[in-house]
Amino acid sequence: MNNIPATMKAIVLKGHGDLEANEYHEAWPIPQIENPDEVLIKVHACGMNNTDVNTRTGWYSKAVSEATTGGAYEAIDTEDPSWGGAPITFPRIQGADIVGTVVAVGDNGNEKIIGKRVMADCWLRDWDNPENKNSTGYFGSECDGGFAQYTKANRHNIQVVNSNLSDAELATFSCSYTTAENLLNRVGCKAGDTVLITGASGGVGSALIQLAKRRGAKTIAMASEAKHADVAKLEPTAILPRAPQNLAKALQEAIGQDTVSIVADIAGGDYFPTLLDVLERGGRYGTSGAIAGPIVELDLRTLYLKDLTFHGCTITTTNVFPDLIGYIERGEVKPALAATYPLEKFNEGQQAFIDKKHTGNIVVTLD
């Protein structure tokens, strides 16, 4: 632990609330290795995610029924449950998409990894039973994460990545791409499928385009028109507006068919019934988010008369993260880095992230 200072710069979430709940500290204690499986990482870059925003505001609580706005909710207090059903504890350093260099390892660690650049899987697990979804946590939610100069992780949670991509580019991948890949696994996406993707300009959406394409599926990206030129760089089969009035007609014009086999949805909200209407008989709907609103209208006749299957997709299986590292190392996915902000300007960056004028991911940089 030579050359490792005692304190670090960090963004510390003090409780649920507005952006001001994120406090910038210059002398926060550096995490200590307490468990033989832990490693200490010097963070170079850490991507932003809606989980940070939703956790800060308390949006995961059933007391909230609105779209994600990024603002505080009056009804929320520290007892309200977070994503996993339990309240989180404060103070908390958020940030799941960690890219950094290992600087120290616990007794069970291999010292050869010291000095190597690693990425972290967002999902904390019981490594004696790693596929047990009931004993999982999320980096930066159930433990401190990467919006700080140093963080610690279980050695099983990190993987060395051999790539020419920059730290910031690598920090666009972990949460969004594992979420997208997991959803595509769950809905059984394969060559021949036609996948309709909501929020396609966002982190998960841009990942869904690329990951469905690499399986040989057709992809239809739905995004605000101002972002179509950027979304086109990801080469989806077709691009539609965020919410066409006549979706079946828009599909017919774009791809010559008015139904799809898969809806990969991160938006939810008022448009949800329209998405189901264009699913073919036997079609699969997968959701990993509800940025446009968590409460939706479901006509059960659409679900059962069309023999649809619904998949809720959050916690990944353990193969997903190493698979993603392979795609990155082989150049099968490319980063969509919209902007970087230094840790000192974290709240400026999170406001830009909330404003959603960008395409892809926004990343916090350190050093």
Alpha helices (H) along the chain? 50-57, 167-170, 174-187, 203-214, 228-232, 247-255, 272-277, 300-305, 320-329, 346-355
Q: Is 187 in the site for ligand NAP (CB under 6 A)?
A: no
Residue numbers 34-63 binding ligand NAP by CB under 6 A: 49-51, 54
CB 11 within 8 A of CB 148: yes
Q: Is 363 in the site for ligand NAP (CB under 6 A)?
A: no
Choose the stretch contacting ligand NAP; rule: CB under 6 A; options: 146-154, 200-208, 247-255, 342-350. Answer: 200-208
- Output the smallest distance, CB 223 to ligand NAP, in A: 4
Q: Which of 137, 199, 236, 335 binds ligand NAP (CB under 6 A)?
A: 199
Measured distance CA(90)–CA(81) in Å, rounded: 13
Q: Which of 236, 269, 283, 286 binds ligand NAP (CB under 6 A)?
A: 269
Q: Is 291 in the site for ligand NAP (CB under 6 A)?
A: yes
- Output the smallest distance, CB 125 to ligand NAP, in A: 14
Measured distance CA(207)–CA(362) in Å, rounded: 14
- Output the smallest distance, CB 290 to ligand NAP, in A: 6
> How far is it between the farthest Cα atoms of the chain?
65
Q: Which of 55, 94, 149, 201 binds ligand NAP (CB under 6 A)?
A: 201
- Please give the DSSP secondary-structure letter assigned to residue 80: S
Question: Of 140 and 202, which CB lies nearer to ligand NAP in the complex structure?
Answer: 202
- Type of residue found at 124: L
Q: How many CA atoms lie within 13 A of 264 on its CB side?
A: 35
Residue numbers 66-125 binding ligand NAP by CB under 6 A: 67-68
Measured distance CA(279)–CA(288) in Å, rounded: 17
Residues constituting the chain: 367
DSSP run (H or E) holding 253:
helix 247-255
Give bridge partners of residue 364 from the DSSP assignment: 46, 341
- Output the smallest distance, CB 222 to ligand NAP, in A: 7
Question: Of 29 and 310, which CB lies nearer to ligand NAP in the complex structure?
Answer: 310
CB 87 within 8 A of CB 79: yes
- Output the smallest distance, CB 248 to ligand NAP, in A: 19
Measured distance CA(43)–CA(37) in Å, rounded: 18
Q: To 10 degrees, what angle do helices 203-214 and 174-187 make?
A: 50
Residue numbers 227-256 binding ligand NAP by CB under 6 A: 227, 242
Q: Which of 163, 257, 314, 347 binds ligand NAP (CB under 6 A)?
A: 314
Q: Is 352 helix (H, G, I), strand (E, B) or coil?
A: helix
Q: Which of 70, 95, 146, 289 binds ligand NAP (CB under 6 A)?
A: 289
Q: Which of 157, 172, 176, 365 binds ligand NAP (CB under 6 A)?
A: 176
Q: Which residue is nearest to ligand NAP (CB)?
A: 202
Choose the stretch contacting ligand NAP; rule: CB under 6 A; options: 37-45, 209-217, 288-296, 340-348. Answer: 288-296
Verify cis geometry, omega within 30 degrees of 0, for the bond prior to 335.
no
Verify cis geometry, omega within 30 degrees of 0, for the bond prior to 342.
no
- What number of other Cβ atoms are within 10 A of residue 265's Cβ? 30
CB 105 within 8 A of CB 111: yes
Choose the stretch contacting ligand NAP; rule: CB under 6 A; options: 104-112, 166-174, 219-227, 317-325. Answer: 219-227
- Output the smallest distance, CB 273 to ligand NAP, in A: 14
Using CB under 6 A as the criterion, which residues of the chain lie in contact with ligand NAP when the complex forms?
49-51, 54, 67-68, 175-176, 179, 199, 201-205, 223-224, 227, 242, 266-267, 269, 288-292, 314, 356
